[in-house]
Amino acid sequence: HIADVKVGAHPHEMALAGDGKTLYVSDNGMIWMTDPGDGENTISVVDIPSRRRIAQISLGMYRRPHGITVDPKTGHVLVTTEKPSALVEVDPVSRKVLRAIDVKGLAPHMVMLAPDSDWAFTSDVNSGALSVIHLSTGDVRPVPVGKGPQGQAFSPDRRTLYVTVAEDN
């Protein structure tokens, strides 16, 4: 144990910026996805060298942020939100929401970027789909994968995306 850093209520995921010194944390506000309530609507920005939160980015109407990643091309933060179900793109420099994309599914959980950062994939837990999102156009195509999709991982050659499907074991 090196240090504790206070962030928002019930953080769920985190992503490291390209500088290796900044960490973005999704402040979900709820312990479980099944818990009722609005939850939080922020991303905490943590400076690793000083071991302190240096900012909190408001997501406005987008609540219960969960999965989070950083686009290595732009440095923008991509975060899923459960209320409403969206993929939200944030500029961490201006600390502003740039856009939100309806994932056409329910309760997006985790988010993964394709190796070229042109595509994002969200695991939509409550609709049993993986949303395939073309980031430059905002086009979304849900692909059925089974009940309760959650984690994702690419194969070593980065050509196949695996999705864990909790309720189908």
Question: pTM here?
Answer: 0.95
Taking residue 127's Cβ as centre, other Cβ atoms within 10 Å add up to: 20
DSSP state of 125: G
Q: What is the pLDDT of residues 104-156, one digit of tens each?
A: 999 999 999 999 999 999 999 999 999 999 999 999 999 999 999 999 999 99
If DSSP codes are grouped into helix, strand and coil, which group holds residue 36? coil
Q: What tokens were used for 138? A: 């905002």
What's the CA gap between 87 and 51, in Å, rounded? 28
